[in-house]
Amino acid sequence: MQSSTDSPPPSPTREIRNKSASNVHTTSTESPTPSPPTRDVGNNTDLVSDVILWRRKNLSVLTLLAATAIWLALEVYELKFVTLFSWMSMLAIAFLFFWGNIHRLLGKEQVDMSAMYISEESAKAMGTKIRECVEKCMRLIFSVSAEKEWFVFAGTVASLGLISVVASYFDLLTLLYFGVMGGLTGPFVYVKYEHKIKEWGQKVRVRYQRCYATVVLKLQEMKNKLQEMKNRMQEKKRKKME
């Protein structure tokens, strides 16, 4: 016969609760495993703007020196592009070979490239920028060719004619080098002297508007004079016929 002082056996639900509480306590004390840092390779717009605006002077100077060296090698020393590309590739491969062996000899870990990736957001942003550039070009072409904006049409034709005249004195490599030099100096100068450039541009715009108004007024006066002369000639003819 069982005595009344004996405690009842524990219920299975209480045992499950105790086990779950102990599991939560043990997992909360454990330190979480840190996830490896990832780097978005596709987000290079900030790097390009920093190089163009000379915020990273080392990369800007390196870009300028590389462009100058390539232009001198191909234009002045008259090396072939394939030869120069082969030499640069051999130097890069030799540098990577020695760098990897030195790391291995010093007992350092090799560079982990698995964390570098191109995210979906960067790919979408790049596609959006390309689409916006294409749309701007299409709008410019439509405004020049289809719409009745003679000033834009005349400016575009004059710009293309000027480019053709300048390009007749230089080859493609020199023009590309000039483009790199202009891309590395123009935005930097504009950002540094933005206020003065805007003031000068405003003065030029005011003078252009005055000249444009004067030309339009002169043309209107000439048109009125021609109309008066035409009316007089018609009046004389009418009188002679009478």
Domain ranges within the chain, ordered by starting residue:
57-106+123-170
- Residue 148 pLDDT exceeds 50: yes
pTM: 0.54
Q: What is the pLDDT of residue 23?
A: 46
User: What pLDDT, on the 0 to 100 scale, is given for residue 168?
Assistant: 84
User: Greater confidence, 23 or 48?
Assistant: 48
Average confidence (pLDDT) over 184-189: 86
Average pLDDT, the chain: 77
Q: Given this model, what pLDDT does residue 13 score?
A: 47
Query: Does residue 76 register a pLDDT over 50?
Result: yes
The two tokens of residue 128 are 């959006």
Between 22 and 193, residue with greater pLDDT: 193
Sorted by sequence, the CB contacts under 8 Å of residue 73 that are 6+ apart come out as 79, 84
- Determine the pLDDT at residue 55: 85
- The 10 Å CB-count burial string (b at 16+, else e) for 163-193 is eeeeeeeeeeeeeebeebeeebeeeeeeeee
The model's confidence at residue 40, banded by pLDDT at 50, 70 and 90, is low
pLDDT at 21: 46
Asked if residues 41 and 116 have their Cβ atoms less than 8 Å apart, the reply is: yes
pLDDT for the residue 19: 46
Three-class SS state of 33: coil
